[in-house]
Amino acid sequence: MAHTIRVRAIANGDTVQVQSLIQHPMDSGFVKDSAGKLIPPHYIEVVTFAAGNKTVFTAFWGPAVSKDPYLKFSFKGAKKGDTLTISWVDNKGMHDSTTAPIM
């Protein structure tokens, strides 16, 4: 079930640049549906990026992060061919994870 996460991790020298897109509604709780009912808040709270067994990046998100959230960051300490593990968990306890090779 790694369908919700798309990642591009590219090594350039000793720095790895990571871009990711996660499929998630990120409902703020302030938007009404077509029937006029408030859509309850449903958003990712934590995203973790790990290289090997080390967390290299953490994102704490609230309901005002855009739908299908995008992230870009870079870190040192990994190289081409290493594996990046990405995982998220949302306010309803749903979660997903995937791994991606560093290109």
Please give the residue ranges that form the binding site for other proteins (CB under 8 A): 1-4, 6, 8, 15, 19-21, 23, 26, 28, 30, 45-48, 50, 52-77, 85, 87-99
CB of 81 to other proteins, least distance (A): 15
| CA atoms within 13 Å, Cβ hemisphere of 12 | 7
Q: How far is the CB of 96 from other proteins (least distance, A)?
A: 4
| Short-list 14, 21, 39, CA closest to 29 | 39
Give the residue from 98, 102, 56, 58 showing the smallest Cα distance to 83: 102
CB closer to other proteins, 34 vs 66 = 66
Which one, 1 or 35, has the nearer CB to other proteins?
A: 1
Question: Residue type for 79, please?
Answer: K
